[in-house]
């Protein structure tokens, strides 16, 4: 998928988790609440990481080249810092349901405002500035990054803890993801070429 499609899917997932967490009323078990909050915190980290590592840098480069105002991007980065901090504070909310509820309310308001702002300004500007082929390549990089992170997470669950164990898990996760990407590339190269389009049909650009 292209990068903008992936980011918009990420937005919908994050909005869904925010809505579920906002409905927490203290009637859930501690374990269920902890799992849901962990999912929300992981989704926020993923949202920030993917955009700031892959999408925002090329947007900044193209915007500077075309002399496009960068204020919406700077505002989105500030919002990332804020929702990242608010998300981390959920861990220290303790068993007091009212404290947790208050923190979730603030986080939901700020994250919702950020997603609306980003969709209305930043993503629209990216769509105008970055060509389709580049967006597809950025999407592939995002998917590759997700595979590496997931491989590391799975390996961390089975490799002994400590700094050395985490380094081993990270290295093995990267190798596993690279191997998966190479196999996918080889599979694409082995596919037979598509038949020529019927007369009168517009030939699509090859990506």
For 69, what's the count of Cα atoms within 13 Å in the CB-facing half-sphere?
Answer: 4
So what CATH class is 1-130?
Answer: mainly alpha
The residues, any chain, with a CB within 8 Å of residue 63's CB and separated by 6 or more, are: 69, 70, 73, 125, 129
| The predicted structure's pLDDT at residue 106 | 94
pLDDT digits (tens, 9 = 90+) for 28-43: 667 888 889 999 999 9
Task: Band the pLDDT of 138: cuts 50, 70, 90.
Answer: very high
pLDDT digits (tens, 9 = 90+) for 158-192: 766 555 555 555 555 555 555 555 555 555 555 55
CB 27 within 8 A of CB 4: no
Domain boundaries defined on the chain: 1-130, 134-191
User: What is the rounded distance in angstroms from the CA atom of residue 178 to the CA atom of residue 187?
Assistant: 14
pLDDT digits (tens, 9 = 90+) for 66-95: 999 999 999 999 999 999 999 999 886 665
Instruction: Write the DSSP string, 98-120.
Output: HHHHHHHHHHHHHHHHHHHHIII
CB 46 within 8 A of CB 143: no
Is-above-0.75 flag for pTM?
no
Buried b or exposed e, range 116-145, using 16+ CB within 10 angstroms: eebeeebbebbeebbeeeebebbbbebbbb
């Amino acid at each position: 998928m292209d990068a903008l499609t992936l980011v918009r899917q990420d937005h919908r997932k994050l909005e869904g988790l925010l809505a579920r967490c906002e409905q927490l009323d203290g009637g859930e078990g501690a374990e269920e609440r902890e799992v849901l909050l962990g999912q929300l915190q992981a989704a926020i980290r993923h949202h920030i990481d993917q955009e700031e590592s892959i999408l925002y840098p090329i947007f900044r480069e193209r915007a500077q080249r075309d002399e496009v105002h960068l204020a919406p991007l700077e505002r989105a980065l500030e919002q990332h810092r804020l929702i990242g901090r608010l998300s981390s504070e959920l861990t220290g909310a303790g068993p007091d349901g009212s404290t947790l509820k208050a923190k979730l309310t603030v986080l939901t308001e700020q994250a919702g405002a950020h997603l609306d702002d980003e969709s209305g300004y930043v993503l629209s500007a990216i769509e105008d500035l970055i060509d389709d082929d580049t967006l597809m390549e950025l999407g592939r990089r995002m998917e590759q990054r997700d595979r590496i992170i997931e491989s590391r997470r799975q390996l961390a669950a089975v490799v002994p803890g400590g700094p050395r164990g985490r380094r081993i898990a990270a290295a093995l996760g990267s190798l596993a993801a690279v191997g998966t990407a190479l196999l996918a590339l080889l599979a694409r190269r082995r596919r037979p070429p598509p038949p020529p389009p019927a007369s009168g049909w517009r030939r699509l650009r090859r990506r």
